[in-house]
Amino acid sequence: MTDHLPTRWRDHGLHWHAHLSDHATAAKLRRNYSPDAVLLDPEAGAEWIADMLTAHSADTIAIEWHTPWGVTLDGPGVRDAARDRHALAYGLSVEAMIVTATGQLYLYVDPYTPEQCPHHRSQAANTI
């Protein structure tokens, strides 16, 4: 399968912070939180999302995606990793709410340039 991903993420030197939370959070606040995972390319981002869904799939009822194309609703086991990769490569964030038998989980993957990132700014400066 040929996957023609946008190169926008590479042009901007983006990386992503991934968060899994039991409550909804605002992007502005998440910036100050330590990420659960730091993802360096769109494939890694899509993989992290897939891993999280797999980890919680036993009690997943529905997954609500917030993509640039609007909100889509997936049933358990129905998802589209290519869509995640594409959104991330384009420099967009991916958000999903997972409704489980015991409550809700919020999954966020936020893009940052090295300058925007409060955690990795110094690292980025060192590599230049």
| C-alpha–C-alpha distance, residues 117 and 15, integer Å | 9
Between CA 14 and CA 95 the distance in angstroms is 17
Residue 18 touches Zn ion, criterion: CB under 5 A = no
- What one-letter code names the amino acid at 79? R
Is 63 or 112 the residue whose CB approaches Zn ion more closely? Answer: 112
The minimum distance between CB 77 and Zn ion, in angstroms, equals 31
In this chain, which of 120, 123, 127, 128 binds Zn ion, going by CB under 5 A?
Answer: 120
The token duo for 45 is: 């981002």
Residues 24-83 that bind Zn ion (CB under 5 A): none
Q: Which residues contact 36 (CB under 8 A, 6 or more apart)?
A: 18, 19, 20
Q: How far apart are the first and last CA of the chain?
A: 35
Residue 8: φ, ψ to 5°: -55, -40
Binding mask 79-118 for Zn ion (x = CB under 5 A): --------------------------------------x-
CB of 118 to Zn ion, least distance (A): 8
> Does the footprint of Zn ion cover residue 14 (CB under 5 A)?
no
Smallest gap from Cβ 16 to Zn ion, in A, equals 8
Q: What tokens appear for 40 in the block?
A: 């360096």
Applying CB under 5 A, the site for Zn ion has a residue count of 3
Per CB under 5 A, residues contacting Zn ion are 117, 119-120
